């Protein structure tokens, strides 16, 4: 039996969801996202939370996501938003390129 680290799981998910080439500019304020990482900066996630970008500084861990549903941890602490890198996220509401080209 082989064990996987949190890092291993995050890397597998980045490959599965093809997020390795994501850029900060792919996530403007207001866009919907799905968090695919299971841990970021020692904070744990299910890897399927969703939310909306409320700030994007374009720097390390600079995409601030407000969660669709607050996260309640077993110790009772509550998190309503958190900071991520582009490869931690999948954009949910990408603009339809065909419609943009028709305009």
pLDDT value for 73: 87
- pTM of this structure: 0.84
CB distance 83 to 60 below 8 Å: no
Quick check: is 17 in a domain?
yes
For the chain, the domain total comes to: 1
Quick check: is 16 in a domain?
yes
By C-alpha distance, which of 12, 4, 22, 5 is closest to 84? 22
CATH of the domain at 69: 2.30.30.50
CB distance 87 to 13 below 8 Å: no
52: domain range?
Answer: 6-102
By C-alpha distance, which of 39, 69, 38 is closest to 51? 69
CB distance 31 to 91 below 8 Å: yes
pLDDT value for 102: 56
pLDDT in tens, the chain (103 residues): 679 999 999 999 999 999 999 999 999 999 999 999 999 998 999 988 999 999 999 999 999 999 999 999 899 999 999 999 999 999 997 655 555 455 5
pLDDT value for 101: 56
């Amino acid at each position: 039996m082989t064990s996987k680290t949190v890092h291993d799981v995050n890397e597998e998910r980045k490959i599965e969801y093809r997020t390795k080439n994501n850029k900060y500019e792919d996530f403007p304020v207001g866009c919907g996202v799905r968090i695919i990482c299971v841990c970021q900066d020692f904070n744990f996630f299910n890897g399927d939370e969703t939310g909306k970008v409320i700030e994007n500084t374009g720097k390390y861990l600079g995409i601030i996501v407000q969660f669709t549903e607050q996260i309640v941890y077993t110790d009772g602490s509550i998190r309503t938003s958190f900071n991520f890198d582009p490869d931690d996220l999948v954009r949910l509401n990408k603009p339809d390129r065909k419609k943009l080209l028709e305009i």
